[in-house]
Amino acid sequence: MRNVARRGAPSSIHIISDIEMVFSSKFAKRAKKLANEHIREGGKKLIVIRRFEIEENVNIPTNHTSLKNLIDARKAFEFHHQLFPTGHTIEALWEWFRRSKAKPEPYIWEIPYKNPSWEPQFIMHATDPFSEENMPTRVRDQQALAYELCRANYTFLLASQLFNVHRGVKRESTIMDSAIVKHQSRLRYSAFKNFIKRIDSTYPNTLKRCKKFVM
């Protein structure tokens, strides 16, 4: 579905996200400015956006200050901090808050690719690689895209101030989640084998940088 959306998008700048995520105040305007400065065809740069989840009974934070207040009160957390932290958390959260407070407008700095289980949401160019078509949904489909971008020697840039949130803290997998994974797992071996074969052939010199992708 992400590929369908990207192919139909009229903009040269794409953000890879989920429909239920709510973005910080003036996100589009601020993100566009950063993207126009740093994202271009062939530039091999991505702007990573931090993700959070909040308890159901609190107001959605609109800026980094209100977000930090919720985190201090244990009402907001990094996305899927209990369910799948290795795939979603980004190091140096307090440094991000410090940098977000230091300047009035968002800016970016380079961060390392975390690991092959990482599935960040990011801003990219329309000509950048698309998601792996044959990777089963919820079976490392978003991780596969981030991994390919790492193998292609893309630079990951983290933006200050900009973020999105999910209302509700997910503490365990739902029955629907488990059913989807069980169904899609039938396809995982062939998809994984073909994906790794293509990646190793296309980007033979970057395995050390990104480590081994596993299912």
What tokens does 85 get? 């932290």
> CA–CA separation, 141 vs 77, rounded Å?
24
Query: Residue 180: its pLDDT value, please?
Result: 59
Contact 189, 134 (CB under 8 A): no
Lowest-confidence region among 81-85, 129-133, 198-202: 81-85
Which comes out higher in pLDDT, residue 18 or 104?
104
Return mean pLDDT, the chain.
92
Q: Which of 203, 187, 211, 14 is CA-nearest to residue 5?
A: 14
What is the CA 117 to chain-centroid distance, rounded? 11
Q: Tell which wins on pLDDT, 113 or 136.
A: 113
